[in-house]
Each structure stands twice: as C-alpha cells, then as structure tokens.
Amino acid sequence: DAKTTQPPSMDCAEGRAANLPCNHSTISGNEYVYWYRQIHSQGPQYIIHGLKNNETNEMASLIITEDRKSSTLILPHATLRDTAVYYCIVRVPQRGDQKLVFGQGTRLTINP
C-alpha cells in the first residue's frame, strides 16, 4: 500500500469548512483513498472513500487531484463534535486482505 503524509495537527473555527490534506504521491492505479476518524479513543469511524472521482456523502466530500497524488477531505460545516484524529489510508481493496494501515493522522481541533 502507498505511503501517506498528513499534517500532524490543524485547527478550524466552528461553522467553517475544514479541509484536511493528504499526500499519496506513490499511489498506484488500483489503490483507493479511504478516510477514517477517531474521536477521543473511540473506535475508528469510516468517513468516505474514492478511486478517481470526487465523492460526497452526508458526512464529507473527498476531492482527489487529477494525477491522484493527493487528496483533500472536506467537512463543510465543522462542529465541535468533529474534533478528532483523521486518518488517510491508501490501499487496494481485495478479498483476504483486511489490513488497514493507520499512520499518525491529523489531529483536527474545532474551536468555538
């Protein structure tokens, strides 16, 4: 699986959009980009994933650059409950391989 690089920490004001970057310059053609978050020692929570196209769900949007070497997770209207560690993971989804490699992630703090 390709290596990812994320900033260790970010701050965002409540109500504003939080944009979390992830660099994955060695990503291969069949690797997906996944985002999870972990709120204060709870179990990780899936947010979104994508391959090439931008994706949106009820939680967030995922913007993947055309060359797929980087991506941005967007929380459109951040709330205090979005304070968490956010993990960007790149992997090939395949049967028999469940390993999710969680790096250090980005600690996002939403300020009132």
Partner 1 sequence: NAGVTQTPKFQVLKTGQSMTLQCAQDMNHEYMSWYRQDPGMGLRLIHYSVGAGITDQGEVPNGYNVSRSTTEDFPLRLLSAAPSQTSVYFCASSSNPGRGTEAFFGQGTRLTVV
Contact between 54 and 79 (Cβ < 8 Å): no
Q: Which residue has the tokens 């960007």?
A: 88
> Cα 16 to the chain's mean position, in Å?
18
- Which C-beta is closer to partner 1: that of 43 or that of 112? 43
Phi, psi dihedral angles at 40 (to 5 degrees):
35, 65
Residue 57 as a binder of partner 1 (CB under 8 A): the answer is no
If one asks whether residue 101 binds partner 1 (CB under 8 A), the answer comes out as: yes
Q: Cα angle at 20 between 18 and 97, to 5 degrees? A: 130
> Interface with partner 1 by CB under 8 A: which range of 4-12, 21-29, 68-76, 97-105?
97-105
Among 17, 28, 102, 111, binds partner 1 (CB under 8 A): 102
Among 6, 18, 27, 34, binds partner 1 (CB under 8 A): 34
Distance from chain centroid for Cα 111: 20
Residues that bind partner 1 (CB under 8 A): 32, 34, 41-46, 49, 51, 87, 93-105
